[in-house]
Structure 1
Amino acid sequence: MADNRLKTVLITGASSGIGAAYAQRFARRGHDLVLVARNRERMEAAAARLRSGAGVAVDVLPADLTAPAELAVVEARLRDDRRIGVLVSNAGAALKSGFAAADLDELERLIRLNVIAVTRLAGAVAPRFVAEGRGAIVNISSVVALAPEIMPGVYAATKSYVLTLSQSLQAELGPQGVYVQAVLPAATRTEIFERSGLSTDAIPVMMDVGELVDAALVGFDREEAVTIPPLPELGQWENFAAARKAMLPNFRQEHAAARYRA
């Protein structure tokens, strides 16, 4: 990966939780920042602390990423601001209900935030990164991308999309100098539970958000394509990935497998 140490970092969902922790960590590293979230007042307060504490430049860009016009403003910033060398797509939400009691409007809003915004932001910045031969895209997925039975409804599906998109982008853009990382947190102490109306009673343990982001940045520095901070053994992920790749040659067949033929 090209050296992005002096490049500006744009972080979505930057007013709290994982996004705020990323902002603090990148500021400590000397990066200037562009903070994106809906809550201007909260971001302005955070920006003031980061400017005084770390001596970096911090721009605040209020936006609701589910609103096409506001998302377009962030896309334009990524396309046009050549100082930005790292995109952290962190903004996301969850829902407490599954499909048996689905509010379709809420489902669509979730998909707009967790899927469409992540896709469009990556698509806005990728051509410039490729032209420059450097840049990094960090997409926050979730361990439920690998375990959809843990959480009902569409949330796991959106995070599975983020993981697959990140892997696809890394395969396409990696050889052209662009680093793409998917981060898969487990349950982490953030406001997503309160905002989504989800209960934490059934969750025995939760990771501290600072520890999560510190671990994710270790993976970033190592240029990992997939970082799973709670996973104790790297070999488990490597075995999973190897099993998937072992199937690939069998997907290109003229006929259905014998087990499906009478």
Structure 2
Amino acid sequence: MSEKNREGKRTARERMLAERADEEARDRKRKKLIIGGVVLAVIAAAVATGVVVQDQRSKPETPTAAPAGAIGDKNLIIPVGSDNSPAVLSVYEDPRCPACGLFEREFSPTISQLEDAGKIYTNYHIVSFIDRAVPGKGSRYGANALACAQDAGHFRDYHDVLYRNQPDETNDAFGDKATLINLAKQVNGLDTPAFQACVNGSTYSGWVSAVQQDFDKSSYKSTPTVLLNGQPIYPKYNNEEITPANLVKWVDAANQGKNLGTPGTHGQSPAPTSTASESNNPSPNAG
């Protein structure tokens, strides 16, 4: 690799780490503001009615509909790859998250190769918290569109298209459903009347809310959060910085002595029958 290419890779990772740090700082600020607002609201409600209102997160929503092939408790996880692969890669992402965009643009080819080789079963948690702090609906609409693509069997390809075309965090382009449908034209066979109706009708809005509530209850507070068999590997693992080469190395080490999985479909996997899914391999926030 040339010095120029190496410098480009370093720069991309530095941007990714900087975006992660900025997002964590924003999240801490948002949390303080939210806590302050909740305290004032509870006090006002108690004075007016004598009743203390519980945090909505204590009553997690059960979605009335989930995309085809979703797995885990309440079917909140979208899987990609073969469910009998020996390792589980868990990814928590928001469609508007700039650090997620940097991560995906650098790592999606490697993740796809590992899936296709039967080495990992990727479990996606599509969250949507950025809409709370930045005006717009792009996180929620983008998450719903991804669920619609899962229904059509094109989640992986559409997921990659969204992150390749991700706008700036403050630009709510994904809040325009026509934009989400137009991007589907880049995935062969996805732009159908059924997909358009699913996007325009926000078919999976309840599911999107439930996924976010599950994330709220977890110990994970920023995106991307990336786990390998339940262990955090982003931005570092065992004091090594995550890179595509290191990700392959870590997966191979975790799979040593184990049989590889049978590569499955890329966007719509059947319900898991082995121990490879999060539901049978508990992590701090197993779906």
The higher-RCO structure (CA 8 Å, 6+ apart) is: 2
Tell me whether the two structures share a fold, i.e. TM-score over 0.5: no
- TM-score of the aligned structures, taking structure 1 as reference length: 0.24
